[in-house]
Amino acid sequence: MGRLEGKVAVVTGAAMGNGWGISKVFGREGAHVAMLDVAEKVFEAAGEFEGQGYSVSGHKADVTDLDGVRKVVDEVAAKHGTIHILVNNAGIARLVPFLEMTDEVRDLHFNVNIKGAWNCTKAVLPYMVEKNYGKIVNISSVTGALVADVGETAYAITKAALWGFTKALAMEVVGNNINVNAICPGMIDTPMVRSGVEAIMPDDPQAIIDALASGIPMKRLGTPEDIGELAAFLASDAAGYITGQPFIIDGGSTLPESNLGG
Ligand SMILES: NC(=O)c1ccc[n+]([C@@H]2O[C@H](COP(=O)([O-])OP(=O)(O)OC[C@H]3O[C@@H](n4cnc5c(N)ncnc54)[C@H](O)[C@@H]3O)[C@@H](O)[C@H]2O)c1
């Protein structure tokens, strides 16, 4: 029996990357997965998983639009009885040096990465409170709270903000049998990272991927399925006594104390 058998999950940003990997592992573990994304590609991804025998549905919605999110969430809850699991994964990253960053680009980060998680939680939490059961997993990052690179000021604020949101919300709902935790990935091989790398070196993006991998103690980037495995654990009852915690999953990239290697 799968770890998430009988559970109904909403995963945002599910068309590709980490959300795709989380949806895949959740489907394999027996959950019904409502895959939500602003991109049409979500239907293709849902079709792919259905073809593998998983119980999934694709839904087009923008996490910055609370009414649109509520419509999808209410439809899913009406069809499946409730929602047990929410993964706030949808996110964007545009790397721009601070003095060159427009307010529009800053606000795009705040709207998608912070308000998106806020909106989806607003829409889903009442169902969890009603049933006295829930697991919320926020996809934060090592960026912001632990490390940062040039151009990441807006992105870093939003990812660090999700640590705070995770802790404060965990305290509010601890009496409702709802666990709230955060996953903080290092460098994961997703379209977000690939497009960033292609912008730096369009002719040979793989050279940058290889250079990034060589700086990680495990000598590889993470995969979306790596994130899915941790999310499935945190969304399962095996993690019932864990709440308000950030979990770093980075192949050891934040580990070295020196540059002497390992
Ligand atoms: N890839 C990494 O190395 C890495 C590291 C740390 C954290 N993260 C986090 O993981 C999450 C997913 O990142 P990824 O690398 O898979 O990115 P990605 O760009 O590969 O995929 C993101 C998905 O989110 C969707 N999305 C974007 N804006 C949306 C919106 N307004 N409404 C609904 N869906 C929207 C996109 O359409 C896309 O399908 C993000 O929160 C990101 O910050 C990624």
Instruction: Give the contacts of 84 (CB within 8 A, at least 6 positions apart).
Output: 7, 8, 9, 31, 128, 131, 133, 134, 135
91 occurs within a structural domain? yes
Has residue 14 been placed in a domain? Answer: yes
Say if CB 31 and CB 58 are below 8 A apart: no
Instruction: Tell me which residue of 169, 117, 163 sits closest to 144, measured CA to CA.
Output: 163
Q: Does residue 222 sit in helix, strand or coil?
A: strand
Q: How far apart are CA 237 and CA 86, in angstroms?
A: 14
Which residue among 18, 105, 120 has the greatest number of ligand 1 atoms within 8 angstroms of its CB, and so is best to mutate?
18
Which residues of the chain fall short of a pLDDT of 50?
A: none
Q: Which helix (H) or strand (E) holds 58?
A: strand 55-60
- Which tens digit of pLDDT belongs to each residue from 177-231? 999 999 999 999 999 999 999 998 999 999 999 999 999 999 999 999 999 999 9
241 a catalytic residue? no
User: In 3-state terms, what secondary structure has residue 219?
Assistant: coil
Alpha helix (H) ranges present in 177-223? Answer: 191-200, 205-214
Q: Which domain holds residue 83?
A: 8-187+223-249
Q: Is the CB of 89 under 6 A from ligand 1?
A: yes
- Tell me if 211 is assigned to some domain: no
- Give me the CATH number covering residue 231: 3.40.50.720
CA-wise closest residue to 101 among 155, 49, 65: 155
69 lines ligand 1 (CB under 6 A): no
pLDDT tens, residue by residue, 118-134: 999 999 999 999 999 99
Assess if residue 238 is contained within a domain.
yes
Q: Is the CB of 10 under 6 A from ligand 1?
A: no
Helix or strand (DSSP H, E) at 72 = helix 66-80
- Entry pTM: 0.98
Distance of alpha carbon 23 from alpha carbon 224, whole angstroms: 10
In angstroms, what is the span from residue 28 Cα to ligand 1's centroid? 21
> Does residue 208 fall inside a structural domain?
no
| Residue 260 within a domain | no
In a domain, 244, yes or no: yes
Residue 129 lies in a domain: yes
What is the count of structural domains for the chain? 1
- Residue 129 phi, psi (nearest 5): -65, -40
